[in-house]
Amino acid sequence: GEATGPTMHGAVFTPEAGYITDPQLASHNVQVAAEAVGAIFRFNADVTAIRREGDKVGGIMLADGANVDTPVVVNVAGPHSAKVNRMAGVADCMKIKTRALRQEVVHVPSPEGFDYMNHGPVISDSDIACYSRPEIGNHILFGSEDPECDEREWVDPDDYNTEFTDQWQTQALRAGQRIPSLKISNRATGVVSLYDVTDDWIPIYDKSDLPGYFMAVGTSGNQFKNAPVVGAMMAELIINCQGGQDHDVDPVYFDYKYTKRQANIGFFSRNREINSDSSFTVLG
């Protein structure tokens, strides 16, 4: 590619930041921690309906015919969030929607002689529209920041191509512009999966038009690390809404424990206007 010149005016360096190389293990750790304080998990149970009791949530129905009675249901279905919202009958009542976006992530070996696993940083490089971080086995992971020149592939989360395409090589070659000694294999390795994306790439943490039905959706790509805070924030939202507060008119505020700051949860409303200040990428 052509050099763009000295256009960098600043950077953010966070030496104590981290990343997750095994999201399944990380999720299991969260499961065990939740179980220690009373949470119950039910696996391999397909939800087929959001039940109503009058004009509010009454529970859920499972594929095996079982019913779970509850006054509160929270949609945290990731790339399936839009399908669950349609199941609940609230999808058409929202200004901001969610969709499943197919993504390819590249894994390539570190340049010879460099221990990227231990010394490589996590980088967001919007000039080549890639982010990168170390990967197990002294590899480098390169993901897309979804530039306008790349076609976005919105898919059915239950029916999409899980094989690599030419997009893999495109991202690898972009990475090679930054690291000329990078060896790009003829055999594509990495990950093909989905993001759950809102219209402006900012999450929805909100109630819905169905009392008792809440959403923590549109979070893919940049919210995993925020999950503990989001959980506490959603709990505050649910308690106040179930207690009678009209969050759409009188937004619930959340106090951050460590920074001592306060957040207006209404910022993440399902009925907000599209935020023109968003990056409209995985950076949020």
- The residue written with tokens 């989360």 in the block is 157
Tokens of 128: 């080549």
Q: Taking the domain 26-97+201-228+236-268, which CATH number applies?
A: 3.50.50.60
pLDDT per residue as tens digits for the range 214-255: 999 999 878 888 888 999 999 999 999 999 999 999 999 999
Per-residue model confidence as pLDDT tens digits over 115-127: 999 999 888 888 8
Residue-level pLDDT at 32: 98
- In this prediction, residue 15 carries a pLDDT of 80
* Contact between 212 and 56 (Cβ < 8 Å): yes
Split at pLDDT 50, 70, 90, the class of 4 is: low
Domain residue ranges of the chain, discontinuous segments joined by +: 26-97+201-228+236-268, 99-195
* 63, two tokens: 């594929």
pTM attached to this predicted model: 0.92
Burial of 156 (0-12, 13-18, 19+ CB in 10 A): exposed
Q: Which of 49, 56, 71, 70 is nearest to 208 (CA)?
A: 56
The CA radius of gyration of the chain, in Å to the nearest whole number, is: 21
Assign residue 59 a region (left: φ > 0; alpha: ψ between -120 and 50; beta: otherwise). left
